[in-house]
Amino acid sequence: MSGMRPSGRLHIGHLVGALAQWVNYPDSVDAFFEIADLHAFTTKYDDPQAIRDDSDEVVLDWLAAGLDPQRATIFLQTAIPEIFELHTYLSMIVPVAWLQRVPTYKEQIEALGADIATYGFLGYPLLQLCDIAVFRADSVPVGRDQLSHLEFGREVVRRFNFLYGPTLVEPTATLSEFPAVPGTDGRKMSKSYGNTIDIADDAETTTKKVRAMITDPLKVRRNDPGRPEICPVFALHHLANAARVALIEERCRSGELGCVACKGELAETLNAWLAPVRARRASLDRERVAQILAAGNEKARVVARATLRDVRRAMKLVP
């Protein structure tokens, strides 16, 4: 089980990172992929329409990347009320101190401001666990920065099973090392930095973004020797132009290849690489997204209902 918060269109870092792995999971496991729209309210509660629109955009990007709704369950978090019911039950047994010691809690407040320090934000890691536990997922692909959240969730599951009997599955992490993809300004590609090349960008937009990218500041003229190891343009050649990377590196270091020509070749190869992905995206619309989510929501609820039935029985909430 995995998911993403809807916070805008996805970029090529997502494409070569999480999505490249996601499309293969249904080959060997039952895969559930969540649009975590309620999680988005923890930091964007004042703009619900943006969350709604972004949810559709994320699904379009998932489908464009090759995620097959016939082989995996794609669902909307807020369409599964069992998640919220489980969250209420588990909140009764989770000490506040456990939530406060999650490393990202204070880090995010310092980064985003005190306005996000809501009751819901404090309980964010518990809601994440409920996303996982309601489907009895035993494997969760995460990056290293999310390991503390998953370990918190494992503690909660152990506490529940100790109090009420073995009912919930203790999830394990499948550590995913995603490749570092630089943005147009040289920093890590991120929507928060505004330095992305989006999956949904057209060829003209991609070309403009590539032409505006920073390069080696010491390579001022074409004949100046370059340092490709610090150049984000060279790093992106590895994604879509791998066969020519060695030659580009050699010509850059010698000064034979200028930055304008290097960017031109990158724009051309990136657009060719993204063309089939963008074609799939263009063939879809929001009506198709609604159909896929409706089917996925119902499939997800079948599993979630069964879990909640067992949870209620374990807690003596039903005979």
Q: What is the pLDDT of residues 259-269, one digit of tens each?
A: 999 999 999 99
Mean pLDDT across 73-79: 98
Name which of 231, 270, 228 is nearest 246 in CA terms.
228
Q: Which domains does the chain have, with CATH numbers?
A: 2-180+285-314 (3.40.50.620), 201-280 (1.10.240.10)
Which of 40-44, 122-126, 220-224, 310-314 holds the top average pLDDT? 310-314
Residue in this structure with the two tokens 């080959």, named with its chain if needed? 27
Q: Residues 76, 35: contact at Cβ < 8 Å?
A: yes
Give the per-residue SS3 of the chain. CEEECCCCCCEHHHHHCHHHHHCCHHHCCCCEEEECHHHHHHHHCCCHHHHHHHHHHHHHHHHHHCCCCCCCEEEEHHHCHHHHHHHHHHHCCCCHHHHHCCHHHHHHHHHHCHHHCCHHHHCHHHHHHHHHHCCCCCEEEECHHHHHHHHHHHHHHHHHHHHHCCCCCCCEEEECCCCCCECCCCCECCHHHCCCCECCCCHHHHHHHHHCCCCCCCCCCCCCCCCHHHCHHHHHHHHHCHHHHHHHHHHHHHCCCCHHHHHHHHHHHHHHHHHHHHHHHHCCCHHHHHHHHHHHHHHHHHHHHHHHHHHHHHCCCCC
Please say if the pLDDT value at position 177 is more than 70: no
Q: What is the pLDDT of residues 1-16, one digit of tens each?
A: 999 999 889 999 999 9
Distance CA 100, CA 265 (A): 49
pLDDT band for 243, please (50, 70, 90 cuts).
Answer: very high
Distance CA 18, CA 132 (A): 17
Please say if the pLDDT value at position 249 is more than 90: yes
Q: What is the pLDDT of residues 208-226, one digit of tens each?
A: 999 999 999 988 888 899 9
Strand duo 32-35 + 2-4: pairing: parallel
Q: What is the pLDDT of residues 91-140, one digit of tens each?
A: 999 999 999 888 878 788 887 788 888 899 899 999 999 999 999 999 88
Amino acid at residue number 283: S
Percent of the chain with pLDDT over 70: 99
Quote the mean pLDDT of the chain: 93
Distance CA 48, CA 157 (A): 31
Name which of 125, 131, 146 is nearest 82 in CA terms.
131
